[in-house]
Amino acid sequence: MKIGFIGLGNMGTPMARNLQGSHDITGYDPSAKPDGIPLVASAALAAKDADVVITMLPNGEILRSVSNEIHPAMPAGSIHLDCSTVDVDSARYVADQASTHGLKAVDAPVSGGIGGASNGTLTFMAGGAPDAFSAIQPLFDLMGQKAVHCGDAGSGQAAKICNNMILGVTMIATCEAFALADKLGLDRQAMFDVVSTSSGSSWSMNTYCPAPGIGPNSPADNNYTPGFAAELMLKDLNLSQMAAAAADADTPMGQAARDLYADFVENEDGHGKDFSAMLPRFVARHHEN
């Protein structure tokens, strides 16, 4: 396939590289200029004559703007695959705009972070027409280990937002529990050994433990250098609460997690740290109180 790839940041660049060799890749990014990827001067030029255009962009506003630029340049019948994490309404806007230009659209945000992008082990949560999803399945196979078709346009974003709301809430609960265990004099290794094999187990505990030196290697063992930055978790929790308000859904734990991460990122020292750095934050709060 001839593929235009727009958005060559920390995620987009390794994803594009995993497609090279199997497909003809042309890239565009207004600031990043990664080595080894043929680049053009505009998003529209990257989209011209492409069978598939992949976007990996920071937010819904930028996605809408780029979509308005590239859709008129794309050949009829081609596919816009958006892998950004954005609000559901923006995903549906893109799908509607694509349809007016005779195009197909799939929203497929990812889980797995920079490591998953580099290793080709991402999980894609996809929304859009089944035939469009099937047509780009080979691309998912090169960039990731799993792709799930979740339903109509916007369903991929809905799945990502719900998943990451759970992740934010469980990471906070895990950090609170370790801080409480410290206060009660419970050894952290004993805490992990019990919880990781009991009803309190979760991905946040078992795979991504926020306590350094406990469990599998995680960002906690690298001074909380981000695998998934706290500000990105805040972005996703903001999206979850926007979606909850629009859908009239009651999500008090999601809202509480959003508020805690907002304080951590905006008013404390969380910006630029992994989202699991909530643990030293709670430990410090216990000592202060």
* Active-site annotation holds for 160: yes
CA distances from 227 to 67, 150, 219, 261 (A): 29, 26, 6, 16
Handedness of CA 221, 222, 223, 226 (dihedral sign): negative
Tell me how far apart the alpha carbons of residues 142 and 121 are, in angstroms, rounded to a whole number: 9
Are the C-beta atoms of 122 and 111 separated by less than 8 Å?
A: yes
Is-contact 276 171, C-beta < 8 A? Answer: yes
The Cα-based distances of 231 to 20, 105, 140, 191 in angstroms read 31, 28, 27, 28
- Of 2, 146, 160, 273, catalytic: 160
Cα gap 28→288, rounded to integer Å: 49
> Which helix (DSSP H) or strand (DSSP E) does residue 207 occupy?
none
State residue 58 phi and psi, 5-degree precision: -75, -30
State the catalytic residues. 160
